[in-house]
Amino acid sequence: MEIACKFDYMRAMLTVSTPPMPIPGHIDPVPVPRATAKAPRPDGRVDLVGLSKPAIREALETAGMEPKQAKLRAKQLWHWIYNRGATEFSAMTDIAKAQHPWLAERFVVGRPDVVEAQVSSDGTRKWLLRSPDGQDYEMVFIPDADRGTLCVSSQVGCTLNCRFCHTGTMRLVRNLTAGEIVGQVMLARDALGEWPSSPEGRMLTNIVMMGMGEPLYNFDEVKTGLQIVMDGDGLALSKRRITLSTSGVVPMMARAGEEIGVNLAVSLHAVTKEVRDEIVPLNKKYGIEELLQACADYPGANNARRITFEYVMLKDKNDSDADAHELVRLLRKYQLPAKVNLIPFNPWPGAPYECSTPDRVNAFSDIVFEAGISAPVRRPRGRDIDAACGQLKTAAEKKSRAQLDREAEEKMAALG
């Protein structure tokens, strides 16, 4: 997959309206989803984005709609929201006009607020987004000749503390909701002009859950969001075009395969306990051998649906010939249908590592390729807007919050 960044290693600029939850030690000891502490909308309305068909029906009934009518309206709303991309009830022409005000008073079809949008010289797009409760996060779209890939965030912050990752320098604030996850996809569709939803000729062809956060620590919301994205009557993106990345939350991996069924990517980055303990501290809880066994057991993995192993190239840390040969040995030991993505490290201020030299990266790649395992080197994308792997602490963070708010107001005023 030609994608600029292991977007797991990003950090969006945050507005922290409540203290971040305490994370004891250097690794998160909780292998289960965290609570999604999203505040209610200030206007009290319910956002329908992120709700399943049954949930939309239930919301309508809770608001006082008669059950039989709620069943019909839920089906209509689903189509307008997820297939047509409508954000106003007044645009939903098969729903009686007299009912539009009733819906608008109680519900909203939301999108994340865009704080800042940037476009790289290579076409990569990055959005800094803000939720109604003032939390900021990012998404990145990477266009290529034969596909367009959207990197989607699953959490505000991260708790894994990977040392080469700028996102790892921050604490977890909260999980994103299913609506905020789906909203990123819908906002990208808005920007690309890809409504009504159609599988033919669209630019956004692939999704990778490689954004800020660890998706398997937000399992339920990620599952719900991706089920909406994959629904054939809505956004209609095939599960074969969706990849979920994990740093190795072993207890949740089988569930992801069984209940979501998308492609798996694993942030490996080292082949020895000593090095992986240092750069991916989660390894102290779930070691390399345990992780690779979980990969071997991942439902649906085969030569047609290989597991992607991501490997950031760090000078004199994990890039030797011996490391490459050990990587091959491990993948063969567990008989894994594998592809290895070699990611040149993109430095950020204060980073404790340097990128391997091009010759060293190529030599590493050659050893893995010669063993019959695909090991392409990712071409960095979006560096000029800090959208490449590991850089996504965002240039926007260098500006003050007041300055960002003022610029956003000026843009809105200019648009009339």
Q: Answer yes or no: 138 catalytic.
A: yes
Strand partners, 209: 244
Q: Radius of gyration of the chain from Cα atoms?
A: 22
Cβ of 194: how many Cβ atoms within 10 Å? 18
- Concatenate the DSSP letters of all residues of 258-326 into one string: III--EEEEE---SSHHHHHHH-GGGGTS-HHHHHHHHHT-TT-BTTBPEEEEEEEBTTTS-SHHHHHH
Report the 10 Å Cβ neighbour count for 48: 24
> Distance between CA 163 and CA 281 in Å, rounded?
8
> Burial letters for 133-168: b for 16+ Cβ neighbours within 10 Å, e otherwise?
bebbbbbbbbbbeeebbbbbbbbbbbbbbbbbbbbb
In whole angstroms, what is the distance from residue 228 CA to residue 218 CA? 16
Contact 343, 313 (CB under 8 A): yes
The answer to whether the beta carbons of residues 326 and 368 sit under 8 Å apart is no
DSSP 212-234: SS-GGGGHHHHHHHHHHHH-TTT
Q: Which position among 5, 116, 138, 355 bears the catalytic label?
A: 138
DSSP 8-state assignment for residue 100: H
DSSP, res 355: B
| Residues near 407 by beta carbon (within 8 Å), at least 6 away in sequence | 116, 399
Active-site residues, by number, are 138, 389
